[in-house]
Amino acid sequence: MYTQGLLHAKDDDRAAPEPADRLARFQARIDAEEKIEPNDWMPEAYRRTLVRMISQHAHSEIVGMLPEGNWLTRAPSLRRKAALLAKVQDEGGHGLYLYAAAETLGVSREELMEQLLLGKAKYSSIFNYPTLSWADIGAIGWLVDGAAIMNQIPLCRCSYGPYARAMIRICKEESFHQRQGFEIMLTLARGTSEQKAMAQDALDRWWWPSLMMFGPSDTQSQHSDASLRWKIKRFSNDELRQKFVDATVPQGRFLGLAFPDADLRYDEAAGHWRFGAIDWAEFRAVLAGNGPCNRQRLAQRSAADERGRWVRAAATAHAEKRRARAAE
């Protein structure tokens, strides 16, 4: 989801023409719900779409560790700290599963990481918002991981085998993330009036950015068609967004909190919660690098990469020395 259905197809889509019979056979395999595996023949556009999607997803997991990492040393209790640490560690693991899945398509993790650090790669817009209070950790688990789950469950059936398998592992681990976030929100919502106000403030700030996580509306998104036809995605951005709203609004009402949307109302006939207009200008600004924390996130990521450089160099030198000794 973290892929946001962006998948900018800026690079050249006019590679060498692919034989129509091969394309037809490929589509027939997809239609028959066969999984595509790394060394199978695949259209170049399928491969490129997956590389973009999986790497955006991987970057999002890794950058997503930063806003939550911000509260690790200030968690209100040891129980909360242990849970948050485990969650952040999971997100690191998710990033690694996904980079490994992307590598099966012929790109290296180093290349992908380089694109991220150079600011050429996208990651989910949500992680460019700041975590100002402890309640934000609750809101992220409940809403951001909740939105991620909504997007990721259908990806477990993605036509590309390695991505689908990574998603199955990830989905198993996500549900604790959402539950620990909701528990934080519930504790605050039932606490003192200041604590309840903190929870409300977090919901006010995270609600709209969470809805934006599903990416541009179907009328705007240029990539949905091919992704759906290839069964990379199973639902459109708007369908997933609606599912998320329908699942989440009752939870927010249970918390006794108000959603920051005057137009939110239940459509009895359709059985859906209807929500107000999303501020797509804000979404585009954040994607373009002008969210509240874009520069800080990339700077933190670059610093981590830089500080780890000597460790990687030392590990490689050590391995080489031992290999040389063994060969003597």
Partner 1 sequence: MSERAMPLWEVFIRSRNGLAHKHVGSVHAADAAMALQAARDVYTRRGEGLSLWVVPSSAITASDPAEKDMMFEPTGSKIYRHPTFYKVPDDVGNM
Among Fe ion, partner 1, none, what does residue 313 contact (CB within 5–8 Å per kind)? partner 1
Among Fe ion, partner 1, none, what does residue 91 contact (CB within 5–8 Å per kind)? Fe ion
Distances 82 to 72, 74, 79, 147, 290 between C-alpha atoms, Å:
9, 12, 5, 23, 33
Name which of 93 and 276 has its Cβ closer to partner 1: 93
Contact between 177 and Fe ion per CB under 5 A: yes
Phi, psi of 266 (to 5 degrees): -85, 125
Contact between 279 and partner 1 per CB under 8 A: no
Least Å from the CB of residue 14 to Fe ion = 35
Among partner 1, Fe ion, none, what does residue 318 contact (CB within 5–8 Å per kind)? partner 1
Using an 8 Å Cβ cutoff, are 185 and 200 in contact? no
For the chain, state the CA radius of gyration: 21
CB neighbour list of residue 169: distance below 8 Å, 6 or more residues apart: 97
Least Å from the CB of residue 150 to partner 1 = 22
Contacts with partner 1 by CB under 8 A: the residue count is 28
Contact between 40 and partner 1 per CB under 8 A: yes
Taking CB under 8 A as the criterion, which residues in 92-121 touch partner 1?
93, 96-97, 100, 103, 108-110, 114
DSSP-assigned letters across all residues of 229-273? HTTS-SS-HHHHHHHHHHHHHHHHHHHT---S-TT-EEETTTTEE
For the record, the structure tokens of 73 come out as 């040393």
Q: Determine the interface stretch with partner 1 among 127-135, 166-174, 212-220, 296-304 (rule: CB under 8 A).
A: 166-174
Contact between 71 and partner 1 per CB under 8 A: no
Name which of 284 and 312 has its Cβ closer to partner 1: 312
CB neighbour list of residue 140: distance below 8 Å, 6 or more residues apart: 67, 68, 131, 181, 206
Residues that bind partner 1 (CB under 8 A): 37, 39-41, 86, 89-90, 93, 96-97, 100, 103, 108-110, 114, 165-166, 169, 173, 309, 312-313, 315-316, 318-319, 322
